[in-house]
Amino acid sequence: MKTSRKNKLIKDKNHDPYYEGRKYPDGVVCPACRALYQGGHWLWSKEVEILTPSSSEQNLCPSCRRIRDNYPAGIVSLRGQYLMRRREEILNLVNRVVEEQAGKSPLKKVIDREEKEDGVVFQLTDDHMARTLGEAVYRAHKGDLKIKYGDQARFVRVSWTRDIP
Ligand SMILES: [Zn+2]
């Protein structure tokens, strides 16, 4: 019975390869970003909790494992002539959203940011974060937004384009 349940999980459209099958004890710290595992979740910790960790165990959190493996859960590409003209303004908005998202959860991080001739591509550790980012740009600047989910693992590709005007 155990095997069939496992197969079902693997076939599940929403299966996340970075899902943590086992729970860590409270107080586990991610050695890369210093996130703290508590009550079944990875959280940003207060300095004092890190100085006196309740457990000496260390484990990379899922987002730091994605960064190590260069394995994004979301890719956001921003392109078009309009972007090139208002690049600074749009990238400032993106940075604000990234900061806000990253502040909410250690699982929301930027893996990589690639400057292209006709745009910018972001690789992110979280699919919801990718969607939030694309929607924020679309709300502020209109244009054309496409959101496409992968059919196997937890993955989303968000593409925003706008040409002049
Ligand atoms: Zn981490």
How many angstroms does the Cα of residue 31 sit away from the middle of ligand 1?
7
How many angstroms does the Cα of residue 163 sit away from the middle of ligand 1?
38
Residue pLDDT, tens place only, 51-108 = 555 556 788 999 999 999 999 999 999 999 999 999 999 999 999 999 999 999 999 9
How many angstroms does the Cα of residue 135 sit away from the middle of ligand 1?
26
Residue pLDDT, tens place only, 34-51 = 898 888 889 998 765 555
How many angstroms does the Cα of residue 136 sit away from the middle of ligand 1?
25
Helix (H) or strand (E) holding 85: helix 81-85
How many angstroms does the Cα of residue 17 sit away from the middle of ligand 1?
16
Helix (H) or strand (E) holding 68: helix 62-69
Separation CA 112–CA 147 (nearest Å): 19
How many angstroms does the Cα of residue 143 sit away from the middle of ligand 1?
34
Name the amino acid, one letter, at 164: I
Residue pLDDT, tens place only, 101-152 = 999 999 999 999 999 888 999 999 999 999 999 999 999 999 999 999 987 7
pTM of the predicted protein model: 0.84
How many angstroms does the Cα of residue 63 sit away from the middle of ligand 1?
6
How many angstroms does the Cα of residue 129 sit away from the middle of ligand 1?
16
- C-alpha distances (whole Å) from 59 to each of 25, 31, 62, 116 are 11, 7, 9, 35
How many angstroms does the Cα of residue 146 sit away from the middle of ligand 1?
29
How many angstroms does the Cα of residue 27 sit away from the middle of ligand 1?
13
Residues with Cβ < 8 Å from 16, sequence gap 6 or more? 73, 153, 154
